[in-house]
Amino acid sequence: MKTVMAIAAHPDDIEFSCCGTISKFVDKGYQAIYVILTNGESGWKIKEVPVEERIKTREKEQLEAAKVIKAKEVIFLREKDGFLDYTNKLREKIVALIKKYKPEIVFTFDPGNKDFSNVNLHHRDHRVCAEIVFDAVFAAKNKFMFPGKSHAVNKFYLSGSNKPNHYEDITAKIDLKVEALSKHKSQFTDFQNVKKFILERLSKFSEKYKYSEAFRIVEIKTF
């Protein structure tokens, strides 16, 4: 079965950035695999609760959001939220998942964004996620760097890019996107404001479509 893999720093990153497009791939017969690098325990908007409960809640919410999109599996690597480090150990874990599931397409943040124009978009966890996934995709197609049979991903769909080259029409998926985001209840004290932001700003990347998601698509060449 063809596979798309979305690798994000936190629970809800996929829903904000690319779940409408992933749902379209699912409709075409792809299986969708989510990989969440951190616990998301620092991104908490409602009343304060112990860290263990925050982690458990955020994982539960991510699983519920993934069901909306009909993702096949969600994998949690449980790094500390806000303190994501680029380590070879973490890169090896991501490489192993790429080799196991053999995605044709990998969704993640754009490692090319270095202008630091948006403190929410370009913060440490997102930057580390972008770079380590980029490097893991390279390592996964190499025969010698890490154990296991090599696998070559065909292309990246990079979110949050300041140089997008593709706008995906998600007009037919916008209600699904809103529904998936609504599952992250711990993040929103007022979801109606979030919904308004999604409809009026976050999904308005192209005049060609009523609602869209923006990507920098990078073809991965093999020799």
What confidence category does residue 119 fall into, taking pLDDT thresholds of 50, 70 and 90? Answer: low
DSSP SS3 for 43: coil
Q: Which domains does the chain have, with CATH numbers?
A: 3-219 (3.40.50.10320)
35-74, pLDDT tens digit by residue? Answer: 999 999 987 777 788 999 999 999 999 999 999 999 999 9
Share of the chain above pLDDT 70, in %: 97
Q: Which residue has the higher pLDDT, 80 or 118?
A: 80
- Can you tell me whether residue 210 is helix, strand or coil? coil
Cβ–Cβ < 8 Å for 214, 159: yes
Distance CA 126, CA 152 (A): 23
Per residue in 199-223, pLDDT (tens digit) is 999 999 999 999 999 999 999 987 6
Write the pLDDT tens digit of every residue in 2-45: 999 999 999 999 999 999 999 999 999 999 999 999 999 987 77
Q: Rounded to whole angstroms, how far apart are CA atoms 9 and 129?
A: 6
Q: With CA atoms as reference, report the closest residue to 160 among 126, 109, 114, 120.
A: 109
